[in-house]
Every structure is written in structure tokens, then in C-alpha cells.
Amino acid sequence: MQWRKVGSLPAKADCDEQQAFVDRKLAPKLREAVRGQRTVLFLDASHFVYGAYLGYLWCVVRLFVPTGNGRQRYSVLGAINAVTHRIHAITTWGMVDSEFVCQLLREIRSSYAGKITIVLDNASYQKSAQVIALARKLRIHLLYLPPYSPNLNLIERLWKFLKGKCLNSRYHADAKAMQSHIDDCLCDIQAERYSEELQTLMTHNFQSFAEVPTVAA
């Protein structure tokens, strides 16, 4: 027995549908990517609200982080290459919408030749007619995840990694200071400063919820 942090399980996740998606759709594309026959990227947006991000620290007494008002939100729309772990990211203090997604699709297409598959969730701004039409024009294959499947999106691990590196247990005097820490961390990731850590983190093994123990009601 060990002292462990409790995990969360999307209540509406369909484990059988997730496994079928991995076996029949995702895994074949990833095998092609490993062989250099296709580029596969995982895309998602992360929204960082200005406030305190609590983590763990070695300390003699419990420490407290001053928190902001939590009304300002800095958003990062990113995509990570499933093999090289190259990051493509655009940021905004405004809304993430279909045009924003299209901007990232254009950047991705200009960065790679050949076949491209982008794995993404079913957010309305990512599944709009505008996004689908541009992807078709750019010859990008959009592979939509099953509903309630953040565990199958590789970039979710990157967002958690980023928060641990630059936000958790850190004081940010204002929202711009938080933005600066996020931008610096993204630059460090793009410069491959954390390449060894990401190599371990970004494996093609995906969490299955089929047989995990759950807390009783």
C-alpha cells in the first residue's frame, strides 16, 4: 500500500470505443509516423487562468502562494509531433476560435512535406466547416478523438509538464509575469532543453480506463 494521489476518470468515457479507436485508427497512423511515412501531431488548446497553481515543495513549514483575481486567461493552442516532439504553438489573451485553429494548420502545413495527420478533440471550434475545409485544402487528415478522451491526446501530457515546470508553486506578480513564464517554458521546450524528459513522457502508451479501480459512491 502506498500514499497515492487520486486520479480523475471522465464519467461519460466509453472504454470500448476508446480502445477500438486506438487499435483501428490511431495505432496504424503512429506506426507510419515512426517509419517516416507520415507526420502525426496531437493538437489541443490549454487555458491558463491567472492565479495560484499549487504543487509540492520541500519546505520546513507549509508555504502559501499569493493568488491573483483569476479573471485573466492566457490561451495556448499547440500541436506536438508524436515522434520528434517538436512543438508548434500560438498564443492569445483572447478567444480561441476556428480562425485561430486555421492559423496553426497553415503553420503546420508549411513545416512538413508529405502526409500529415492531426489528432484532436471534438471542440466546436476545431470541428467547424471552416477548419474542415481548410484541412482538406491543405491535404491534412483530421483524426477526431472519441468523446471524453483526453487520455488519448498526447499533448495533454505536455500541458501538465509545462504547468509543473513554470507555474506550480510559483508566484506571479501579475498576469504578464505568468505569460512570460509560459512563453519562456515553451521556448525551452522548442529548444529541446527538456528532450530527455519528454522522450520518457511522450510514449505511445495510452491510459485505458477499462479496469481501473474507482472510489465507491
Q: Which helix (H) or strand (E) holds 75?
A: strand 73-81
Tens of pLDDT along 188-210?
998 889 999 999 999 999 987 76
DSSP state of 26: I
Exposed, middle or buried: residue 70 (CB in 10 Å: 0-12, 13-18, 19+)?
exposed
* Reported CATH class of domain 33-48+71-201: alpha beta
Tens of pLDDT along 7-48?
666 767 788 999 999 999 999 999 999 999 999 999 999 998
Alpha-carbon gap, residue 133 to 145, rounded angstroms: 19
Residue spans of the domains in the chain: they are 33-48+71-201
pTM: 0.88
Residue pair 73/48 in contact (Cβ under 8 Å)? The answer is yes
Residue pair 148/10 in contact (Cβ under 8 Å)? The answer is yes
Instruction: Name residue 40's beta-bridge partners.
Output: 117
